[in-house]
Chains A and B, each alone.
Chain A
Amino acid sequence: MAEKLNLNRVSMPKQEPQVRAHNFNEVAQGYTAEMAKEEASRCIQCKKRNCVTGCPVDVDIPEFIMAIRDGNMAEAVTIMKDKNILPGICGRVCPQESQCEQTCTLAKKAAPIAIGRLERYVADWERLQPAAAKPKPVIPPSTGKKVAVVGSGPTGLTAAADLAKMGHQVTMFEALHVAGGVLMYGIPEFRLPKEIVQAEVEYVQSLGVDLRLNSVIGKIDTVDELLKGGYDAVFLGTGAGLPMFLNCPGENLNGIYSANEFLTRTNLMKAYLFPKYDTPIKKSRRVAVIGGGNVAMDSARCALRLGAKEVYIVYRRSEAELPARREEVENAMEEGIVFKFLTNPKRFLGDDKGWVTKMECNEMELGKPDESGRRRPIVKKGSEFMIDVDTVVVALGTSPNPLVPSTTEGLATTKKGTVVADEKTGKTVKDKVWAGGDVLTGAATVISAMGAGKRAAAAIDAYLRG
């Protein structure tokens, strides 16, 4: 144990708000070797390992932190990747404050260990090593079993990697032209550089996973055809890709985007580099983003970086109920995003060419808690007012894409469109088919989707070994 408990975590350098609001470079810059060692040495290596219980994928946190402290970086990588194949991604986008860092023993006294920052440091260290110096994964002899993984987002990547590490032959199908799912189309470059996502996808491929891009299961082969065609099991990790709209008048005016479209144009298609890249996005001045989650924060911060003069977050509840990570809310506020709480759009008005110009809103007040446990927003009568806008981004959440469920016989779905499956194993009611991630739960976090991929991989492995 350290001689004296250090209660202050080492802070991580960030780009200044007024600078970063105008570029797409990463906001948080990561620890230096010295910072990482200093933070790692704060860990008291307690016997309880409370942090591990807070991790959805059971990373051996005290061990990898000890390896950093002792300067054994290759060992830190090996420990990390044994449980988490996407550390560069998780270190950046996991809500550690409500997981491992919340359960960290030090959290009771003062600042918990910055586990996420250390995780990121390990991943970034590895990525910069020459190929020969990187720890090599050990692949067991082939079991001769074939598994199809549908979707290459966080849950698909994790399931595919684990199944490959168990010796199964894995084919991963992706609808888009790059792998990564929401990590590529949704989360912006300034929070998760795409180069890092692709490096971690390449790692999964290096385990022997055969990646098939531009392949929409249900349109080419169906799940049943995959099973007939020689796959012994199928894992569905198709996510929650269908955007929800408000269903209020004027919502189809030009300049009104779903967050999925706004982020896909910006991130996946790199519209922020237009016309160097061919996909355009509207140059906006006044942007309203509807919603209060991480996707709303990402959309607002993208809008600012694309050159908007004023960007609003329009949220029907109050600041206390914002579902976004606190860190992202603070980042957005620092950058100058204006929050309009207790505000809900009622309709959109446009000009004679069909472009949105105004948004009529209601003021809201909070009533008794609803089924989600949050206080229900109620419209204040006669509170209508106008906001001038030229762009609106609707970030109200997503539901599962029905493409795969609707083309798969014998797969049960809920009213919300999620696939019915065993919570622990991801086993669906259909023989030989498992599912995990947002397609089961509705939109959730990267790490919970990874946890589901891991559990399903273990269940598939047990099934295949009979």
Chain B
Amino acid sequence: MYKIMYREKLTTNIHLFKIEAPAVARKAQAGQFIVIMPDEKGERIPLTIADWDHVEGTITVVFMEVGKTTNKLAMLKAGDSIFALVGPLGLPTHIEKYGTVVCVAGGFAIATIVPIARAMRQAGNKVISIMGFRTKSLVFWEERLRSVSDDLIITTDDGTYGRKGLVTEPLKELLEKDKNIKRVIAIGPTPMMKFSSKTTEPFGVKTIVSLNPIMVDGTGMCGCCRVEVGGQTKFTCVDGPDFDAHQVDWDLLIARQKSYLGEEKESLELWRHECQAAGEKR
């Protein structure tokens, strides 16, 4: 079960897996995620479902190498199997015909925004997408996002590709000139979502973010992923992952995401050391 049918290295540290998971593929919708556990001793981590094919019975996920779990995943090859995979979890993104929708994605969250942009467009919206990266070598899925958008703006922090700067700059300009923008979807690293939220707030345009706190079970059982939205405690895994950006307590989310920084570093270093030792033995 959960065999990797296809894998691709999208950039130096971002990978795509197409995984056999027919039951998940049959029900997946834009905005939902899976919880994945690479092996028996592994950690359970959430990954957004970037695409699905219910005929083929596969789902596609895109992940970046960050800690031990994603590093472990990155070592798997096509044909290998994943120990555990559960989904589709969370509520799907609310899709409706609003008029004009701006989809903003930072880094590997491009993979999350593509199915949402596609669904928004299918619902009859004009979709303007903004994708931001640190530098040119990290850019991926440009054509995929373009194919589901009416307009696409690319930014890089260092100006090596597209426009130089952060995604918030074109976002602000769009809001200033286009009064038909009725909704913004912003997905990426937490600071990027926080600042996108700050950008849209003065314009009063409802902005949806997909939060990514630490999770364990992903089904509402543990409460590890709790966030505060509008002063209320919510469980991201069952009440989200999409929330109204202007209501999110960003500082709390950022603090909670750092809960295990020390342990994560320790775990990754030890694993790298073990891998190196194993490599030397061979």
Interface residues of A (CB under 8 A from B): 175-177, 185, 213-216, 219-221, 241-243, 245, 247, 251-252, 254, 257-258, 260-261, 264-265, 269-270, 274-280, 282, 353-354, 401-403
Contact = CB atoms under 8 A, between A and B. Distances in A.
Interface string B201-245: 000000000000000110111111011100001000010000000
Given A216-B86, A245-B233, A278-B68, A260 B221 contact: yes
Given A252-B228, A260-B221, A354 B252 contact: yes
A223 to B, nearest CB: 14
A435 B227 CA distance: 32
Say whether chain B's binding surface is mostly helix, strand, loop, or mixed: mixed
Contacts of B86: 175-177, 214-216
Given A215-B23, A220-B24, A254 B238 contact: no
B252 A243 contact: no
A310 to B, nearest CB: 21
A269 B263 CA distance: 15
A403 B219 contact: yes
B107 to A, nearest CB: 23
Contacts of A241: 219-221
A215 B270 CA distance: 33
Contact of A264 (B26, B217, B233, B264): B217
B222 A279 contact: no
Contact of A278 (B43, B87, B238, B255): B43
Contacts of A274: 263, 267
B222 A243 contact: yes
13 contacts: A214-B85, A216-B89, A219-B88, A241-B221, A252-B228, A254-B255, A264-B222, A275-B266, A279-B216, A280-B263, A353-B255, A353-B258, A402-B220
A334 to B, nearest CB: 29
A280 B255 contact: no
Given A213-B84, A241-B220, A258-B223, A219 B263 contact: no
B185 interface: no
A276 B221 contact: no
Contacts of A402: 220
B222 A258 contact: yes
Nearest to B45: A278
Contacts of A280: 260, 263-264, 267
Contact of B26 (A220, A260, A265): A220
Contacts, number: 113
Contacts of B124: none
Given A265-B222, A274-B267, 20 more contacts: A176-B217, A177-B37, A214-B84, A220-B24, A220-B27, A243-B222, A251-B233, A254-B255, A257-B224, A260-B221, A270-B41, A274-B263, A276-B41, A278-B42, A278-B267, A279-B43, A279-B44, A280-B260, A354-B258, A403-B220
Interface of B: 23-24, 26-27, 37, 41-44, 68-69, 83-89, 216-217, 219-224, 226-228, 233, 238, 251-252, 255-256, 258-260, 263-264, 266-267, 270-271
A177 B69 CA distance: 16
Contacts of A353: 255, 258
Nearest to B251: A354
Contacts of B220: 241-242, 401-403
Contacts of A216: 86-87, 89, 219
B278 to A, nearest CB: 15
Contacts of A185: 217, 221
A252 B252 CA distance: 8
B221 A243 contact: yes
Contacts of A254: 255-256, 258-259
A185 B216 CA distance: 11
Contact of A261 (B89, B222, B260): B222
Nearest to B233: A252
A282 B37 CA distance: 21
Nearest to B38: A278
A270 B41 CA distance: 8
A270 to B, nearest CB: 8
B106 to A, nearest CB: 23
Contacts of B252: 252, 354
B217 A278 contact: no
Nearest to B86: A214
A258 B68 CA distance: 25
A242 B259 contact: no
Contacts of A214: 84-86
Ranked nearest first, the 10 interchain pairs of A and B with the lowest CB-CB distance are: A354-B255, A280-B263, A261-B222, A177-B84, A278-B43, A214-B86, A258-B223, A220-B23, A241-B221, A277-B41
Given A215-B86, A252-B252, A280-B267, A269 B216 contact: yes
B201 to A, nearest CB: 22
A112 B145 CA distance: 72
B270 A264 contact: no
Contact of A177 (B83, B255, B256): B83
Contact of B69 (A242, A278, A401): A278
Among B89, B226, B271, chain A packs the most CB atoms within 10 A around the CB of B226
Contacts of B221: 185, 241-243, 260, 264, 401
Nearest to A275: B267
Q: Which of A265, A275, A277 has the most CB of B within 10 A?
A: A275
Contacts of B85: 214
Contacts of A354: 251-252, 255-256, 258
Contacts of B226: 252
B223 A243 contact: yes
A246 B254 CA distance: 23
B264 A219 contact: no
Contacts of A401: 219-221
Contacts of B238: 403
A247 B88 CA distance: 29
A134 B133 CA distance: 62
B239 to A, nearest CB: 11
Contacts of A176: 86, 217
B43 A261 contact: no
